[in-house]
Protein backbone atom coordinates (compact mmCIF):
# COMPACT_ATOMS: atom_id res chain seq x y z
CA UNK A 1 0.00 0.00 0.00
CA UNK A 2 1.46 3.32 -1.04
CA UNK A 3 0.51 6.52 0.70
CA UNK A 4 0.52 9.47 -1.67
CA UNK A 5 0.02 12.96 -0.41
CA UNK A 6 -0.15 16.00 -2.65
CA UNK A 7 1.43 18.68 -0.49
CA UNK A 8 0.27 21.50 -2.72
CA UNK A 9 -3.36 20.39 -2.37
CA UNK A 10 -3.03 20.21 1.40
CA UNK A 11 -1.47 23.69 1.49
CA UNK A 12 -4.18 25.07 -0.76
CA UNK A 13 -6.91 23.67 1.48
CA UNK A 14 -5.29 25.08 4.62
CA UNK A 15 -4.80 28.50 3.01
CA UNK A 16 -8.44 28.51 1.89
CA UNK A 17 -9.69 27.74 5.38
CA UNK A 18 -7.53 30.46 6.92
CA UNK A 19 -8.54 33.06 4.33
CA UNK A 20 -12.26 32.27 4.50
CA UNK A 21 -12.32 32.35 8.30
CA UNK A 22 -10.58 35.73 8.50
CA UNK A 23 -12.53 37.31 5.63
CA UNK A 24 -15.88 36.17 7.01
CA UNK A 25 -15.15 37.53 10.47
CA UNK A 26 -13.38 40.75 9.44
CA UNK A 27 -15.92 41.88 6.85
CA UNK A 28 -17.37 44.73 8.91
CA UNK A 29 -15.82 48.13 9.68
CA UNK A 30 -16.01 47.71 13.44
CA UNK A 31 -13.33 45.73 15.26
CA UNK A 32 -14.33 42.16 15.82
CA UNK A 33 -12.75 40.34 18.78
CA UNK A 34 -13.46 36.99 17.13
CA UNK A 35 -10.84 37.52 14.39
CA UNK A 36 -7.81 36.66 16.57
CA UNK A 37 -9.73 33.68 17.89
CA UNK A 38 -10.43 32.49 14.36
CA UNK A 39 -6.74 32.85 13.45
CA UNK A 40 -5.74 30.91 16.55
CA UNK A 41 -8.23 28.20 15.65
CA UNK A 42 -6.92 28.04 12.09
CA UNK A 43 -3.32 27.82 13.32
CA UNK A 44 -4.29 25.08 15.76
CA UNK A 45 -5.98 23.14 12.96
CA UNK A 46 -2.93 23.45 10.72
CA UNK A 47 -0.54 22.37 13.48
CA UNK A 48 -2.70 19.41 14.49
CA UNK A 49 -3.08 18.38 10.86
CA UNK A 50 0.68 18.48 10.37
CA UNK A 51 1.19 16.50 13.59
CA UNK A 52 -1.29 13.85 12.42
CA UNK A 53 0.41 13.54 9.02
CA UNK A 54 3.81 13.20 10.71
CA UNK A 55 2.48 10.58 13.15
CA UNK A 56 1.13 8.48 10.28
CA UNK A 57 4.39 8.91 8.33
CA UNK A 58 6.62 7.87 11.25
CA UNK A 59 4.31 4.97 12.13
CA UNK A 60 4.42 3.64 8.55
CA UNK A 61 8.20 4.05 8.50
CA UNK A 62 8.67 2.32 11.85
CA UNK A 63 6.37 -0.54 10.86
CA UNK A 64 8.30 -0.97 7.60
CA UNK A 65 11.62 -0.96 9.48
CA UNK A 66 10.25 -3.62 11.86
CA UNK A 67 9.16 -5.79 8.93
CA UNK A 68 12.50 -5.43 7.14
CA UNK A 69 14.50 -6.27 10.26
CA UNK A 70 12.30 -9.24 11.13
CA UNK A 71 11.14 -7.70 14.41
CA UNK A 72 7.83 -9.18 15.54
CA UNK A 73 4.76 -7.06 16.32
CA UNK A 74 5.38 -4.26 13.82
CA UNK A 75 1.84 -3.03 14.48
CA UNK A 76 3.11 -1.57 17.78
CA UNK A 77 4.32 1.38 15.70
CA UNK A 78 0.77 2.75 15.74
CA UNK A 79 0.38 2.77 19.55
CA UNK A 80 1.92 5.65 21.51
CA UNK A 81 4.60 4.54 24.01
CA UNK A 82 4.43 1.02 22.57
CA UNK A 83 6.20 2.39 19.50
CA UNK A 84 9.15 3.22 21.77
CA UNK A 85 9.22 -0.43 22.86
CA UNK A 86 9.21 -1.45 19.20
CA UNK A 87 12.13 0.88 18.50
CA UNK A 88 14.03 -0.63 21.43
CA UNK A 89 13.36 -4.12 20.08
CA UNK A 90 14.55 -3.11 16.58
CA UNK A 91 17.71 -1.51 18.02
CA UNK A 92 18.26 -4.53 20.30
CA UNK A 93 18.39 -2.37 23.41
CA UNK A 94 17.01 -3.36 26.85
CA UNK A 95 13.30 -2.73 27.28
CA UNK A 96 13.84 -1.01 30.65
CA UNK A 97 15.36 1.91 28.72
CA UNK A 98 11.79 3.08 28.16
CA UNK A 99 11.93 4.58 31.67
CA UNK A 100 14.74 6.86 30.50
CA UNK A 101 12.49 8.25 27.75
CA UNK A 102 10.35 9.93 30.43
CA UNK A 103 13.23 11.90 32.00
CA UNK A 104 13.66 15.39 30.49
CA UNK A 105 16.91 15.93 28.56
CA UNK A 106 17.88 12.28 29.09
CA UNK A 107 15.15 11.37 26.60
CA UNK A 108 16.94 13.32 23.86
CA UNK A 109 20.15 11.34 24.39
CA UNK A 110 18.20 8.08 24.57
CA UNK A 111 16.30 8.84 21.37
CA UNK A 112 19.58 9.48 19.55
CA UNK A 113 21.08 6.22 20.86
CA UNK A 114 17.99 4.23 19.89
CA UNK A 115 17.78 5.77 16.40
CA UNK A 116 21.50 4.99 15.98
CA UNK A 117 20.67 1.36 16.85
CA UNK A 118 17.77 1.37 14.39
CA UNK A 119 20.09 2.67 11.66
CA UNK A 120 22.59 -0.10 12.42
CA UNK A 121 19.79 -2.69 12.33
CA UNK A 122 19.02 -1.48 8.80
CA UNK A 123 22.74 -1.70 7.85
CA UNK A 124 23.06 2.06 7.54
CA UNK A 125 25.74 4.23 9.18
CA UNK A 126 24.83 4.97 12.79
CA UNK A 127 25.30 8.72 12.29
CA UNK A 128 21.84 8.71 10.71
CA UNK A 129 20.54 8.45 14.28
CA UNK A 130 22.39 11.61 15.26
CA UNK A 131 20.60 13.44 12.43
CA UNK A 132 17.34 13.05 14.37
CA UNK A 133 18.27 16.16 16.39
CA UNK A 134 18.61 18.31 13.26
CA UNK A 135 15.33 20.10 12.45
CA UNK A 136 13.79 19.29 9.04
CA UNK A 137 16.37 16.52 8.48
CA UNK A 138 14.62 14.53 11.20
CA UNK A 139 11.61 14.39 8.89
CA UNK A 140 13.69 12.55 6.29
CA UNK A 141 15.56 10.07 8.50
CA UNK A 142 12.68 7.64 9.29
CA UNK A 143 11.71 7.44 5.63
CA UNK A 144 15.31 6.88 4.55
CA UNK A 145 15.80 4.12 7.11
CA UNK A 146 12.54 2.49 6.10
CA UNK A 147 12.51 2.68 2.32
CA UNK A 148 16.12 3.12 1.14
CA UNK A 149 17.87 -0.04 0.01
Note whether residue 39 is domain-resident.
yes
| Chunked mean pLDDT (size 10), the chain, 149 residues | 59 69 59 74 89 95 96 94 95 96 94 96 93 92 93
What sign does the CA torsion over 72, 73, 74, 76 have?
negative
R_g of the chain, CA atoms, integer Å? 20
Note whether residue 19 is domain-resident.
yes
Q: Would you call 6 helix, strand, or coil by DSSP? A: coil
Cα distances (Å, whole numbers) of residue 140 to 9, 73, 130, 134:
21, 24, 13, 10
Print the domain residue range for 93: 7-147
What pLDDT does 39 receive? 82
Note whether residue 120 is domain-resident.
yes
Overall number of domains in the chain:
1
Note whether residue 1 is domain-resident.
no
Note whether residue 2 is domain-resident.
no
What pLDDT does 1 receive? 47
What pLDDT does 19 receive? 66
Distance CA 126, CA 122 (A): 10
Note whether residue 91 is domain-resident.
yes
pTM metric for this prediction? 0.75
What pLDDT does 41 receive? 83
Note whether residue 30 is domain-resident.
yes
Amino acid sequence: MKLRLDWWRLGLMVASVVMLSTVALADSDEPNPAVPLALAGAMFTVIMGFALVMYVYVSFALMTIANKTGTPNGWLAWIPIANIILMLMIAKKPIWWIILFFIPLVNIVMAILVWMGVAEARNKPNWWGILMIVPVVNLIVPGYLAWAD
